[in-house]
Structure 1
Amino acid sequence: MKIGFDAKRIFHNTTGLGNYSRDLVRILDEYYPSNFYYLYNPKPKKVKRLKLKPSMKEVLPESWIWKKLSSLWRQKAVISQIKSDNIDVFHGLSGEIPRKLKQNGIKSVVTIHDLIFMRYPEWYSYFDRKIHFSKFKYAAENADCVIAISEQTKRDIITYLKIPESKIKVIYQGCHNAFKVERTNEEKDSLKKKLDLPEKFLLNVGTVEKRKNALTIIKSIRNLDIPLVIVGRKTKYYKEIEEYITENNLQDKVIFLEGLSMEELSTLYQLAEIFIYPSVFEGFGIPIIESLFSKTPVITTNDGVFPEAGGSHSRYVNPTDVTAMENEIKLLLSSNELRDEITEEGYKYAGKFRDEVIVQEINNVYRNLLED
């Protein structure tokens, strides 16, 4: 098969959408190397986290005009190059597909990660909501198959985009292989020294934005004798956090980090006592899976997708309940036996997010479309 991908996120995104896109192409190449994978990139790459294999080809706009109008190329003009490459199936990896694939006889799949802009419109500008809705609605209606990354996202696609359930397939996403490698004591000690980390700490990973709700964790540790490490890009929400830290003299209890490699991040997970992820809403929540594979106990949000990602042995709280979160942290810190049980069962649960499970389901989608 020749499979084409909207590769914008692969080459220009370092967070969730980029990681999903790179990991999917990587495992497809690993398990189905006889296929050919065409990565349609609107402009020269900035993020170099995917090593291109012989079966992969990066495709850029051919003419100077489309190099200048790269966004328009991605939506429309790319179709001529997709046709020229004789693509069998085109996969939009982040809620979008080019126009007129179906009219040109090209089967298509679109992955939709979440519809947060519809659930929480107050977090987006009017203009952004209109653009997102237009692109997602077109993709969901015109693709031959819609992949939802969770049952939660599937329900939202049915509710907000009015797509029939029969057209939607839930296929979970996994995480980078780095999180499945047990780090040596030397690697752990080296990272602790490099980052000047405390002996014991709590961990939170994700963009430092209001939806991710890191401030609740900080409030919950105000009276606890353990620091918190937060890894992620800062947004304007960081100022609100910074003000709280200063007002409560918590400068020595909260450590912010950015720019870690995947290997460093995976080591950090394995060093942490507890991973805490009190996000208000996610389409899935890859950091939870990263923590399960890292054998680090998880405290996360008690509804939405989070129990789906964390399994029955992770710990769940109302994301705005500071007292409940503090109590969960104290409980886990006080019981090695409970932490061991949670990590062991969580690691078993993570088996449903392994590469071989996910890639077989994805490849079956492609095969079934061509057979139809």
Structure 2
Amino acid sequence: MTEKALKIGFDAKRLFLNKSGLGNYSRWLVQGLSEDFKQNEYHLYSSIISDYKRDFNKDNIFFHQPLGVFKKFWRIKTIKKDLLRDKIDIYHGLSNEIPYGIEKTKIKSVVTIHDLIFKTHPEFYNPVDVLIYDKKFKSACNRANKIVAISNYTKKLLIDLYKINPEKIEVIYLNSPHIYYSTPQFNEIETIKSTFGISKPFMLNVGAIGGRKNQFRILDAFKMISNKVDFNLVFVCKPNRNSEMFIEKINEYNLESRCQIIHDISENNLHKLYHASYASIYTSIIEGFGIPIIESYRSGKPVITSYGTSLEEISGKAALLCNPTEIESIAENMLKIYKKETYKSLVENIPGELPKFNTENTIHKYINLYNNL
């Protein structure tokens, strides 16, 4: 691998402003690159620099904010002047877009496309947003020198929907936060269970309530089989407009003692909660990737997830697959994973699924991509 020193700029808006999702991806990538490839300079461009800055105070990381009064258009257009001033070699748009006109400079550009859900499932979006996203994503894909797709499923959609040359697209998987490489002490796991009043085995679901995350069908399925299993359900999520309706549904089904909702949990405590769980259930209608699957695997826990889309690709042989739109299919797999022989077989398959998410197959692929532009 070449040791050529590069100046790499990043669209760091999500890194500083998003607590999960695109934020986790941005922080994971920049931290990994800055630690494993110290010879490069990493320049973070964002209108707002949040408290996450404390995690990036390193000699090879630099922070940039817009100057002047026209900050609104800086990220999408006028940032080019700053990139040229800072002699940036490569600019990486970490969240589906790059500045207009960057293709007219000597700066090479990369854009990461996380998903095209607004195209395949527009019912989950405001119609105006669908039009805006479509224009931004397609433009970025056409103008960038290289596209990173976070799954083969997303790559296929880019080819089918935007007619992108397959050779322009590099598939690089995501990985879990670094904390998931460690195992909590037994007493830490018991403490987290005590903290949240958990006394029985439980299946864990992580994600915003409603929409494509599909928790209402999970609840319907659990109602069907709750008298046949002794595990409960724990939902980790942020409060949203669906939360009250979801709680009402739990009460309607008389499952108050079997279902628990935990809001605003820290990554450290979520890590312990995964280890405390029996298994995870992540039966989204559609995803661009599926980080909770990796988090569950690194905690030694199998998963029930959805077939098709990226989830089947990511989960491999350590998960049970269901039709996420059929309640009976979800319920059937809840019963299957409760069987000792099935559970044991899935757990034994977890180690074989993890290497594809390791640093050499993720972070290191980005450096290879940058060096070959």
Name the TM tier (shorter chain): over 0.9
- 1:146-169 per-position Cα deviation (integer Å, ceiling 9, x unaligned): 110011100111122221112111
Matched, 1:214 2:215: yes
Match of 1:296 in 2: 301
Q: 1:364 aligns with which of 362, 365, 368?
A: 368
**Structure 2 Cα separation of the partners of residues 208 and 104 of structure 1:** 43
Matched, 1:23 2:24: no
Could you say what secondary structure the match of 1:305 adopts?
helix
The alpha-carbon deviation at position 259 of structure 1 amounts to 1.9
The alpha-carbon deviation at position 124 of structure 1 amounts to 1.4
Matched, 1:151 2:156: no
Matched, 1:42 2:47: yes
Could you say what secondary structure the match of 1:147 adopts?
strand
**Structure 2 Cα separation of the partners of residues 293 and 130 of structure 1:** 38
The alpha-carbon deviation at position 47 of structure 1 amounts to 4.8
Match of 1:127 in 2: 128
Extract unaligned runs of 5+ from structure 2: 1-5
Identical-pair percentage: 37
Q: 2:38 aligns with which of 25, 30, 33?
A: 33
Could you say what secondary structure the match of 2:354 adopts?
helix
**Structure 1 Cα separation of the partners of residues 219 and 260 of structure 2:** 11
- 1:109-160 per-position Cα deviation (integer Å, ceiling 9, x unaligned): 0000000011111221221111111111111000000110011100111122
Pairs within 5 Å for 1:34-113: 34-45=39-50, 47=52, 50-63=55-68, 65-66=69-70, 69=71, 71-113=72-114
Matched, 1:283 2:260: no
The farther-off stretch of 89-98 and 313-322 is: 313-322
**Structure 1 Cα separation of the partners of residues 67 and 40 of structure 2:** 23
User: Which TM-score applies when normalising by structure 1?
Assistant: 0.94
Match of 1:4 in 2: 9
* Equivalent pair of 1:43/1:61 in contact (CA under 8 Å): no
The alpha-carbon deviation at position 213 of structure 1 amounts to 0.1
Pairs within 5 Å for 1:209-248: 209-222=210-223, 223-224=225-226, 225-248=230-253
* Equivalent pair of 2:124/2:211 in contact (CA under 8 Å): no
Amino acid at match of 1:352: K
Extract unaligned runs of 5+ from structure 1: none
The alpha-carbon deviation at position 303 of structure 1 amounts to 1.3
The farther-off stretch of 90-99 and 312-321 is: 312-321
* Equivalent pair of 1:2/1:38 in contact (CA under 8 Å): yes
* Equivalent pair of 1:39/1:59 in contact (CA under 8 Å): yes
- CA RMSD, 1 decimal: 1.6
- The structure-2 alpha-carbon separation of the partners of 1:360 and 1:44, relative to structure 1 and needing over 3 Å to count, comes to closer
Q: 1:13 aligns with which of 18, 27, 52?
A: 18
Pairs within 5 Å for 1:257-276: 257-276=262-281
- 1:183-224 per-position Cα deviation (integer Å, ceiling 9, x unaligned): 110211121122222331110011223100011211222242
Match of 1:341 in 2: 345
Match of 1:200 in 2: 201
- The structure-2 alpha-carbon separation of the partners of 1:180 and 1:55, relative to structure 1 and needing over 3 Å to count, comes to same
Pairs within 5 Å for 1:163-178: 163-178=164-179
The alpha-carbon deviation at position 275 of structure 1 amounts to 0.2
Amino acid at match of 2:24: N
Match of 1:142 in 2: 143
Amino acid at match of 2:339: S
